[in-house]
């Protein structure tokens, strides 16, 4: 029989109120609290982020106001930058490529709730991964929903809600987010 964590990680319906999952979210919350308690520029922040996150590159900056569910499902490439108030609900894997920039208030959400009222009221949830390619820039207040891949070299305009995959080398904007311009690579 699968644990609730195993169900969560495999994209099945699961109960987030499971004791193991509650404990792991508490661990992440404690580490985030410790990170936010340190003064700007304190090198201990990087060490705590490395303890919190699944993997990181050598060079990354995450500004104040960062929040996540578990941390261990977040995988950062080299030269990642997240401006203030970044939220990554990582009930499933979030893979972020190299040279990725997040403007303020970016939200990455892997978790969702069933449309079926009975399942939702019973506390069932699901989680699907999010993948962001190399050299991507997400503008201010961008939201990326579960089961989305954003291709390399793409720019997502401010305020967009990304509900479906976005290809590489484009500018995409809106709610729902859609391609408005192709970019040429140099």
pLDDT in tens, 50-63: 999 999 999 999 99
How far apart are the C-alpha atoms of 92 and 42, rounded to whole Å? 30
Let me know: does 123 contact 15? Beta carbons within 8 Å.
Answer: yes
List beta partners, residue 112.
126
pLDDT over threshold 80, residue 185: no
What's the rounded mean pLDDT across residues 89-95?
98
- CATH number of the domain at 4-155, please? 2.160.10.10
In Å, what is the CA distance from 110 to each residue of 34, 77, 113, 149, 152?
Answer: 24, 19, 11, 11, 20
**pLDDT class of 152 with cuts at 50, 70, 90:** very high
What pLDDT shows up at residue 186?
Answer: 59
pTM greater than the 0.85 cutoff = yes
Reading the block at residue 131, the tokens are: 């993948």
What's the rounded mean pLDDT across residues 32-55?
95
At residue 7, the 3 state secondary structure works out as helix
Over residues 97-125, the pLDDT tens digits come to 999 999 999 999 999 999 999 999 999 99
How far apart are the C-alpha atoms of 22 and 37, rounded to whole Å? 22
Let me know: does 86 contact 106? Beta carbons within 8 Å.
Answer: yes
What pLDDT shows up at residue 44?
Answer: 95
**pLDDT class of 184 with cuts at 50, 70, 90:** confident
How far apart are the C-alpha atoms of 141 and 157, rounded to whole Å? 9
Tell me the catalytic residues: 113
What pLDDT shows up at residue 41?
Answer: 86
Reading the block at residue 96, the tokens are: 């972020």
Long-range pairs of 79-87 with CB within 8 A, sequence gap ≥ 24 = 80/56, 82/106, 83/140, 86/62
pLDDT over threshold 90, residue 86: yes
pLDDT over threshold 80, residue 4: yes
Let me know: does 5 contact 11? Beta carbons within 8 Å.
Answer: no
* Averaged pLDDT score across all residues of the chain: 97
**pLDDT class of 15 with cuts at 50, 70, 90:** very high
């Amino acid at each position: 029989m699968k644990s609730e964590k195993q169900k969560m990680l495999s994209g099945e319906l699961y109960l987030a109120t499971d004791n193991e999952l509650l404990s792991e979210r508490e661990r992440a919350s404690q580490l985030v609290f410790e990170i936010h308690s340190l003064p700007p520029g304190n090198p201990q922040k990087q060490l705590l982020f490395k303890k919190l996150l699944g993997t990181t590159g050598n060079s990354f900056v995450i500004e104040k106001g960062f929040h996540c569910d578990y941390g261990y499902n977040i995988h950062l490439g080299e030269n990642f930058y997240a401006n203030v108030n970044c939220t990554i609900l990582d009930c499933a894997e979030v893979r972020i490529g190299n040279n990725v920039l997040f403007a303020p208030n970016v939200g990455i959400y892997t978790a969702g709730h069933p449309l079926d009222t009975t399942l939702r009221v019973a506390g069932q949830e699901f989680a699907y991964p999010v993948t962001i390619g190399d050299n991507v820039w997400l503008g201010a207040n961008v939201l990326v929903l579960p089961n989305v891949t954003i291709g390399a070299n793409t720019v997502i305009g401010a305020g967009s809600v990304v509900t479906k995959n976005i290809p590489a080398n484009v500018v995409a904007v809106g709610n729902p987010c859609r391609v408005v311009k192709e970019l040429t690579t140099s």
